[in-house]
């Protein structure tokens, strides 16, 4: 099956930029996503990028996609204590199931810790 890989942990000083990286194996990925999970909660979509784009910016968030290397990154500028969470990378392929490409494959998640 398809695979999505992330580092498990990242620590960043408050006010610095955080960069969370992700690699994936599915060359037919259509959309790639970043989800955020705060303690005790479900996942919430932060942002997504279509596979024919290489960059997307949304306020403090910048997503970079290198389709050739199958590498996705999420940069959070001016990291705040409220950014402490687990961040999941996910991809949606164009494959397999009878009804289309509705499934998402998730990475292991990266726990972001903010150092005061």
Instruction: Give contact residues for another protein (rule: CB under 8 A).
Output: 1, 4, 6, 8, 30-31, 33, 35, 40-45, 48, 88, 92, 97-109
Alpha carbon distances (Å) from 87 to 30, 95, 110: 20, 25, 5
Q: How far is the CB of 20 from another protein (least distance, A)?
A: 14
Q: Which segments of 1-116 are extended strands (E)?
A: 4-6, 9-13, 18-24, 31-37, 43-50, 55-58, 61-66, 71-76, 85-92, 104-106, 110-115
Q: What are phi and psi of 41, to 5 degrees?
A: -125, 170
Strand partners, 55: 64
Q: Which two tokens stand for residue 39?
A: 């303690």
Of 82 and 100, CB closest to another protein: 100
Of 12 and 32, CB closest to another protein: 32
Q: How far is the CB of 15 from another protein (least distance, A)?
A: 29
Q: How far is the CB of 88 from another protein (least distance, A)?
A: 7
Of 17 and 27, CB closest to another protein: 27
Of 85 and 107, CB closest to another protein: 107
């Amino acid at each position: 099956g398809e695979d999505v890989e992330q580092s498990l942990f990242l620590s960043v000083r408050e006010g610095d930029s955080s960069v969370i990286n992700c690699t994936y194996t599915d060359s037919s990925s259509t959309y790639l996503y970043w989800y955020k999970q705060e303690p005790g909660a479900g996942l919430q979509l932060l942002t997504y990028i279509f596979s024919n784009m290489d960059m997307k910016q949304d306020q403090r968030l910048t997503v970079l996609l290198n389709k050739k290397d199958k590498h996705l990154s999420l940069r959070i500028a001016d990291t705040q204590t409220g950014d402490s969470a687990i961040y999941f990378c996910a991809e949606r392929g164009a494959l397999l199931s009878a009804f289309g490409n509705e499934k998402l494959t998730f990475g292991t998640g990266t726990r972001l810790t903010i150092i005061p």
